[in-house]
């Protein structure tokens, strides 16, 4: 009986201690979040910039999740689980943590572009194409960091992506031509959201968006037409444009 009693106590300790660690770290994260974000919110009330508001609102939710991941990681370290299971779980938490940070950064950058598009319209128009390109870049860098952090050499991957990119470029010539045409339109401010355009085919209306493939124009009849960006670039010499004020 004493032997069985000791074994049961050890088993209980192995379960209770990691659980307490998770609860304590999670509670600490909740307290820190409440204090930190309350003070930051009070500080932003005296700031005219929208960047701080965007950062606070984008990180407030994931903040507690990051503490939960930290608690699970510490609990695994103090647990009696086999080392290989702890290592695998740690890598999973590492991947999830970096993915969450990547998502937050992509969301923050996208919202900043949308909020400040009117001020930086000439260099960084607030259209969906610009936001999507920024998201793709951030996700690409985040994935490479994750792969590098797992101990994998990314040089062969980059080389493979280069070769694969050529094959994809040949297979998606039409899509890529529209993509680069859209980038040309927004970076050179040829057409901006809000401009009134009249096409050589007779359609006319206001530009409401420029995405990775098409330019959206809302006609006077309130219908929306989609013009391929490559075709839009070809028509620019004959398109009548009234710039939005």
* Whether the Cβ atoms of residue 178 and residue 212 lie closer than 8 Å to each other: yes
Residue 195 belongs to domain spanning: 123-245
Q: Which residue has the tokens 């992509």?
A: 106
The mean pLDDT of 129-153, rounded to a whole number, is: 80
**DSSP code of residue 236:** G
Tell whether 128 and 245 lie within a shared domain: yes
Number of compact structural domains in the chain: 2
Tell whether 140 and 41 lie within a shared domain: no
**Domain C-terminal end among 90, 116, 142:** 116
pTM score? 0.61
pLDDT for 31: 92
Question: Please, what sign has the CA dihedral across residues 55, 56, 57, 62?
Answer: positive
Tell whether 164 and 181 lie within a shared domain: yes
**Domain C-terminal end among 99, 116, 133:** 116
Tell whether 136 and 216 lie within a shared domain: yes
Model confidence over 59-74: pLDDT tens digits? 888 888 889 888 888 8
Tell whether 244 and 127 lie within a shared domain: yes
Token reading at 105: 């950064």
CA terminus-to-terminus distance, the chain: 87
CATH number at residue 232: 2.30.30.60
Tell whether 102 and 209 lie within a shared domain: no
Q: Is the pLDDT of residue 140 over 60?
A: yes
**Domain C-terminal end among 72, 95, 116:** 116
Tell whether 128 and 234 lie within a shared domain: yes
Angle between helices 83-116 and 128-149 (to 10 degrees): 160
CB atoms inside a 10 Å sphere around CB 33:
17
Tell whether 100 and 202 lie within a shared domain: no
pLDDT for 5: 46
pLDDT for 27: 92
Model confidence over 7-50: pLDDT tens digits? 566 666 667 778 888 899 989 989 998 898 888 888 877 777 77
């Amino acid at each position: 009986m004493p032997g069985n009693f000791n074994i049961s106590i050890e088993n209980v300790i192995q379960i209770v201690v990691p659980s307490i660690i998770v609860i304590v770290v999670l509670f600490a994260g909740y307290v820190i979040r409440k204090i930190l974000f309350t003070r930051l919110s009070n500080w932003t009330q005296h700031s005219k910039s929208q960047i701080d508001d965007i950062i606070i609102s984008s990180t407030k939710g994931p903040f507690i999740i990051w503490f939960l991941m930290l608690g699970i990681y510490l609990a695994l370290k103090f647990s009696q689980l086999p080392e290989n299971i702890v290592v695998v779980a740690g890598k999973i938490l590492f991947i999830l943590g970096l993915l969450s940070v990547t998502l937050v950064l992509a969301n923050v950058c996208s919202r900043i572009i949308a909020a400040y598009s009117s001020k930086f319209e000439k260099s960084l128009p607030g259209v969906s194409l610009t936001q999507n390109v920024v998201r793709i870049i951030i996700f690409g860098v985040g994935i490479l960091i994750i792969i590098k952090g797992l101990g994998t050499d990314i040089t062969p991957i980059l080389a493979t992506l280069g070769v694969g990119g050529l094959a994809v470029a040949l297979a998606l010539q039409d899509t890529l031509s529209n993509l680069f045409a859209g980038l040309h339109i927004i970076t050179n401010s040829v057409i901006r959201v809000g401009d009134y355009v009249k096409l050589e085919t007779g359609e006319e209306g206001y530009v409401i968006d420029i995405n990775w493939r098409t330019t959206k124009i809302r006609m006077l009849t309130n219908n929306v037409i989609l013009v391929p960006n490559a075709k839009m670039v070809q028509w620019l010499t004959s398109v009548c444009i009234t710039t939005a004020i």
